[in-house]
Amino acid sequence: MLAAHENGTITAWEVSSNAVLWQTESRLPKPTIIRSAASWNNEHVVTIGGLGEAVEAWSLKNDRRDSKLIASPLAHVSTLAINSAGVMALASNDGEIAFFSLKHHHSLGPVITTDSSGINDLAFHPSSPILAAVHSNGSVWMIDTDVFQILDSEIRYVEDSCSSIAFSSLGDIIALGCSDGTVQLWDVASRSLKIQVKSSHVGPVNDLVMSPSDDTLASLGADGEIVLWDLTVMNDSLWHAEACRIAGVGLDTDDDISLLELPGAAMPCANTTSVK
């Protein structure tokens, strides 16, 4: 599992043992604050941060973990996402989204404007060119990245602000993490709420990721803790009871960190404490 920290470092650790595998530091000018990160093909990590909201691409193919800067067409980048084809989406605080090919190293399509409420998080559909953008006003916008067009002008999933979004591996479920610590699951086709648990974290849910088998959802809170949710349980109270919390994984409660990958299928609850 990978996480990017506000202090300009990236940490990798093994979930089952909570052992830190490696940690590296950004080469951007100080002070460096990494605000968001995403990975591509387990070989590259792209981070946003530093002075002027710089975009830095890291190669993980060797022990040196080389990095280089990418010119962003947006003045203030707030978050990013990368799909399996190496297409990177960059979003701004004023609702703009730009696209860049990491494979061919050039910009793609026009800059898309959604609304001015600000984009908190992005997620690519796992098997289609659809990009979902969750805004600070609680709306989710869907964009076809093949033709760079908005599919739905606005999908009002929640009334409160949501800070993170993730697709299931089949693309039929969207998970939302909100500013009040709530975690929600929504059916994409019917746009109906399947399950909701409030107060799962102290403070906002900073990031979400589902396991490849869709049986585990990991939510990362601003409190520096990760909660693992059993997606085989689809009852609000049971879902909450079956969740487990990872502690002592080298995360600082003052860090604004982003969860990048959740490999495997089983929930490693043996070394955790249950969510109360």
What are the DSSP calls for 197-208, one per residue? ESSSSSS-EEEE
Amino acid letter for position 133: A
Taking Cα atoms as reference points, which of 262, 256, 164 lies closest to residue 218?
Answer: 262
Q: Which of the residue ranges 158-167, 175-184, 223-232, 256-265 would you say has the lowest mean pLDDT?
A: 256-265
Q: Are 106 and 72 in contact (CB under 8 A)?
A: no
Which tokens go with 43? Answer: 């070989």
Greater confidence, 21 or 263? 21
Q: Residue range 40-53: average pLDDT?
A: 62
Q: What is the pLDDT of residue 263?
A: 46
Q: Does domain 2-274 have CATH number 3.30.465.10?
A: no
Nearest-angstrom CA–CA distance, 146 and 212: 24
Q: What is the model's pTM?
A: 0.77
Looking at the predicted structure, is the pLDDT value of residue 275 above 60?
no
Q: Residue range 128-151: average pLDDT?
A: 89
The pLDDT > 90 percentage for the chain reads 12
Greater confidence, 32 or 271? 32
pLDDT digits (tens, 9 = 90+) for 173-227: 999 988 888 888 888 888 888 888 876 777 888 888 888 888 888 888 877 777 8
Looking at the predicted structure, is the pLDDT value of residue 255 above 90?
no
Map residue 220 onto helix, strand or coil. strand
Task: Please give the full DSSP string across 172-187, using - where no structure is assigned.
Answer: SEEEEEETTS-EEEEE
Domain boundaries, given as residue ranges, for the chain: 2-274
**How many Cα atoms within 13 Å fall on the side-chain side of residue 137?**
13
pLDDT digits (tens, 9 = 90+) for 91-122: 888 889 999 888 888 889 999 998 877 888 89
